[in-house]
Copies of this chain bind each other. A is one copy, B any other.
Amino acid sequence: MKASIISVGTELLFGQITNTNTVYLSGQLQLLGIDVLYHYTVGDNPERLRRMLRLAYEDCDLVITTGGLGPTQDDLTKEILTEELHDSPVLDRASLDAIEGFFKHFGRPMTENNKKQAYLPSRAVIFANANGTAPGFALEDGARIAICLPGPPREMKPMFENDARPFLAAKSQSAIYYKLLRTFGIGESALETALEDLIGAQTDPTLATYAKEGECSLRIASKRATEAEARAAVEEMERTVLARIGGYVFSDEDEDLAQVVARKLIEKDISFSCAESCTGGMFAAEMTEIPGISAVFERGIVAYGNRAKTEELGVSPELLEKHGAVSAECALAMARGLRERTDSRLAISVTGIAGPGGGTPEKPVGLTYIACAFDGEERVKELRMRGASRYRNRRHAVLSMLSVVLRMIDRYGNILQ
């Protein structure tokens, strides 16, 4: 199956918002084994939208639209699509009830034009909208398929996952199964080198690597006649891959490193605290983004200056004088001091030079020390990051802290266990 994605909305052409729907849908369609040939963006203009639709169907069987399903006169995607696919709108009672319920729930008055959203093509398979008022739908006309989704990503994505994806999977007459292995501590090219022969020889399953902010992911995907076959092929390849790079894999369920660490700390009931210098609160902010973390997170200290390191963490002025604030000794004293003062079972610390300024020949920008004290055990890690980007150095330090915590609490075992 070949597809075009049409994004509808004048605001996209004004450069006011970045189109994130298209990249999401493209990735999802690829996983379904559907080739995406074009992306189009068009404003709220019926004639241009009609032109795009006709173009798209010239060499594609499937068109997915996002946006233009709102209640106003400008929102015409549904109307144009219905006409082009030779259908006519009828009132869908269930959708009207849902829209009325939505307004009742939020205590807002429903205006007459919201009713427009409950008129849908008579032959459509309707997709209820759990997060807004506009229903989506699938409509077929001969060999042409249209999937019509709302524009806001928080409405579009759940609708795609719950309704549009199963609809398309049923059409594609083959099954896709995939796993995403998320790694840390190995670069994309090192990962590719380690798997070079597998990537070179791939037909099915396919392997693809993706790098993002210091992390690197590997997607193993298979398309077979049945899901069981696809799954078996992926799992066999996963075993081969894990035998080579398993030590770098922190999740095979598409969890963030912070999510994995938080989940394990909660599961194992390990109370923890953190002391941050160069990351300035980023580690604490990332951990506290996760609901439920308050069960184990004790406190965080952002000890930016030397005085704070001494007063809050008990790092002695002599140590700071002798080794400097950016040193393995200081990182260890910070973690040890924090753990003693808080009775947390685990304390993690970081001190470094984030840049762009502040580096010296002996202690260049990017030099960072991480220490972790967990029950009776202690560990220090040195990082030498090369870039001058303050944000990237800080972000990489946070990921390294998470990785150190994970290895400490998993006792250096296979981190997938």
Q: What B residues does A356 contact at CB under 8 A?
A: 291
Complex contact A308–B304 (CB within 8 A): no
Digitize A277-303: 1 where CB-to-B-CB distance is under 8 Å, 0 elsewhere.
001111111011101101001111111
Q: Which of A7-15, A87-95, A113-121, A372-380 contacts B (4 or more CB under 8 A)?
A: A7-15
- Convert A295-319 into 0s and 1s, putting 1 for each residue whose CB lies closer than 8 angstroms to a CB of B: 0011111111101100110000000
Selected contact of A280 from candidates B285, B292, B342, CB within 8 Å: B285
Residue on B with the closest CB to A27?
Answer: B15
Q: Check if A24 is an interface residue, CB within 8 A of chain B.
A: yes
Q: Is A394 an interface residue (CB 8 A)?
A: yes
Residues on B with C-beta less than 8 A from A43 are 37
- A34 nearest CB across to chain B (Å): 11
Q: Is A203 an interface residue (CB 8 A)?
A: no
340-375 of chain A: CB within 8 A of chain B: 341-342, 355-357
A285 near B285 (CB under 8 angstroms)? yes
Establish whether residues A301 and B304, one from each chain, have CB atoms under 8 Å apart when the complex forms.
no
Judge if A391 is at the interface, Cβ distance under 8 Å.
Answer: yes
Q: A12-B26, A15-B23, A394-B289 are in contact. Are A294 and B300 (CB under 8 A)?
A: no
Complex contact A304–B312 (CB within 8 A): no
List residues of A (75-129) whose CB comes within 8 Å of B's CBs.
Answer: none
**Residue from the list B16, B285, B300 in contact with A27, Cβ < 8 A:** B16
- A280 lies within 8 A of B287 (CB): yes
Contact, CB under 8 Å: B23 / A19: yes
A13 in contact with B40 (CB, 8 Å): no
6 contacts between A and B (CB under 8 A): A12-B23, A13-B26, A37-B43, A38-B48, A39-B40, A281-B283
CB-based closest 7 A-B pairs: A280-B288, A15-B27, A281-B284, A300-B302, A15-B26, A281-B281, A39-B41
